[in-house]
Structure 1
Amino acid sequence: MLVAFLDAEQDRLARACRDMARAFHQGATLVPFATGAAATDAAHVAVEFMHPVIVGKRALPALVGATGRSGDIALGIAHDRDDGAVREFLAASSSRGLLTIALGAHTMDADHAFTVVSADPPIVQEVQETAYHVLWELVHVFFDHPALLEDACITCGDVAVEAEVVAVSGAAATVQRGDATEEVAIDLTPDLRVGDRVLCHAGVALERLEPDPAAFLYPFMGAQDDDLEAVLGDVRASTLRKGQDTIALRRGIDLEAVARCAGAVRRALEHGGRLLAFGNGGSATDAMDLAVDLRALGLSAAALVDDVATVTAVGNDVGFDKVFSRQLIALGRAGDVAFAISTSGSSPNIVAALEEAHARGMLTCAITGYDGGRLAQLDWLDHLVVVAGDYIPRLQEAQATVYHLLLEQLR
């Protein structure tokens, strides 16, 4: 499903990245919106754009639940085939002049709409997660090409520029440079034809340029910073590679470890236990998603990141490394389940929470990445599923598959 989606949508995803980059360049804020279980994805989108894990990339403004302004970016996400609230959000955003993007399981009206054709919400969510990670990762490519971010006037600069004739009409011609087109006077260059290269300045074609007979030997020498099609081609290729990387990680999931963990969680919940999930950043939204999905199955679950007041109070008064363990002191009981999601496996607050859970007789479970981090060194940890990758977006996508597999065995 993921490979087919990215193959079909690679060009439109690349163009959506470009439009988002242009909007951010002009001061836009990204406004993600979703309802139900998809609301955790809206939160995931916001944290990825606001707190980039790619070193050296800029933080981009994003606010869940904000009222967008003209020029902002509205991103609607729906896992189910009919989500009227998301449709209304996109329609209202469009009417206010926002760039609109839709990720859905059905066709929605938006400037850029992407549909995952599946009746299985977990599959829809996993494909959508890769899609919004791609939008976040590859929007930054266009910031390295500032000429592609402006509403370009080809001939308005201080020096003459080379452009290609794409149409001729009477005493004027339309010339193109990169993604921009402009009409120029051709009084000084009669008999121009489509395909000719001309030197232009101040709305006038000054000179027809003779073709370089050796140009085919060095095609990259003519590449411009504003070569939109070349940049889009790079983005399309990168999109496909990212999907392949995610598939490779998913194929490496230890299914037996997932089954053992699912069996232990089932027994705990059947005996009256409650699952308490937690994580940081994007993993916090995964913990929220896991808790929402468990409750939808009629099982007792909560995410410790949901209570922002408690998290910030403990973080401020005691320390951020205690934001989960302090909650477990109050909430955790023997027979409950402490379920951690972490890409590194080494975050101090994750380790501290699992230590507290173990001391209280709770079942301790974790999903992590890399080599398992510090969690792999805890011989008392009941269940650890390691996704052996080292790039966070792909790890998170494979980790979503892990807890979806776990949920499937709890149905």
Structure 2
Amino acid sequence: MKRIIFDRFTEHITLAQQVAASGILEQVAASAVIIKNALKNGKKVLFCGNGGSAADSQHLAAEFVGRFQKERTGLPAIALTVDTSILTAVANDYGYDTVFARQIQALGNDGDVLVGLSTSGNSKNVLAAIDVAKVKGMQCIGLTAQGGGKMTEVCDICMAMPCSVTARAQEIHILIGHILCELVDGE
């Protein structure tokens, strides 16, 4: 048991060090600028993902709307994963692949930012949301794992973790999300 625990900590630390030594740091900084500029211009940030990425979407939206580390006014952010009535109605009427795209269609505006989380980078509903967001004039930021999948082709910035283990990639996604919150709060 102790060996498994030690190994997981070691994997996490190693991945964090790999990311810190990669070009992803520049992508984090560029993403922070995109988000800060959108918020300064009265726009909002929308988040989407499935499973653990849905939970991360909710977590990060909460950090923007509530507060991160310092007191400030709430920032406009929405997790498209939280309204079960919308999710189930859209999935029932149009199919699950459209649950986020339909919400972007209704809530997204030119200048808003979409942050899509998908460890495969190939989640059909996240890709469909990105397609609609691009048509609406939104910038799209992706958080993925090894290789980045199709999201590397359609996002303005796609941060692909150099890891094929979903859990480790998601751990770094939330670290990056917290860094984005700190950078947005910081200046």
SS in 2 for 1:324: helix
Greater Rg over alpha carbons, structure: 1
Q: Superposition pairs for residues 244-263 of structure 1, below 5 Å?
A: 244-253=10-19, 254-263=24-33
**Aligned-pair CA distance for 1:310:** 0.3
Residues 265-296 of structure 1, C-alpha deviation per residue, up to 9 Å, x if partnerless? 10011100011111000100000001000112
Q: Give runs of ≥4 in structure 1 deviating > 3 Å.
A: none
* Distance in 1 (alpha carbons) for counterparts of 2:34 and 2:153: 21
Please state if 1:361 is matched with 2:137: yes
**Residue equivalent to 1:162:** none
Counterparts of 1:377 and 1:333 in 2: how far apart (Å)? 22
Q: Distance in 2 between matches of 1:332 and 1:271?
A: 14
Question: Residue 237 of structure 1 aligns with which residue?
Answer: 3
Q: Deviations over 1:299-323 (max 9, x none)?
A: 1101001101100111111101000
The alignment partner of 1:343 has SS state of coil
**Equivalents in 2 of 1:262, 1:410: separation in Å?**
6
Structure 2 unaligned residues grouped into runs of 5+: 68-73
Where do residues 185-224 of structure 1 align in structure 2 (5 Å cutoff)? none
Measure the CA separation in 2 of the matches of 1:360 and 1:375.
17
Gaps of 5+ in 1: 1-234
Work out the CA distance in 2 between the residues paired with 1:377 and 1:357. 14
State the distance in 1 between where 2:123 and 2:59 align: 20
Equivalent residue runs for 1:28-177 within 5 Å? none
Q: Which residue of 2 aligns with 1:342?
A: 118
Aligned to 1:214: none
Decide which of 86, 89, 95 is 1:319's aligned counterpart.
95
Higher relative contact order (CA 8 A, sep 6+): 2
* Cα displacement (A) at 1:252: 2.2
Q: In 2, Cα distance between the equivalents of 1:325 and 1:252? A: 33
Give the structure with the higher percent helix: 2
Residues 167-195 of structure 1 deviation map (CA, whole Å, 9 limit, x = unaligned) = xxxxxxxxxxxxxxxxxxxxxxxxxxxxx
Percent sequence identity is 37
1:385, CA displacement in angstroms? 1.1
- Partner of 2:110: helix, strand, or coil? coil
The answer on whether the counterparts of 1:344 and 1:372 sit within 8 Å (CA) in structure 2 is yes
Instruction: Show the counterpart of 1:407.
Output: 181
Match of 2:80 among 297, 304, 325: 304
- Does the 8 A contact of 1:278 with 1:340 survive in 2? yes
**TM-score calculated relative to the size of structure 2:** 0.91
How many pairs align?
175
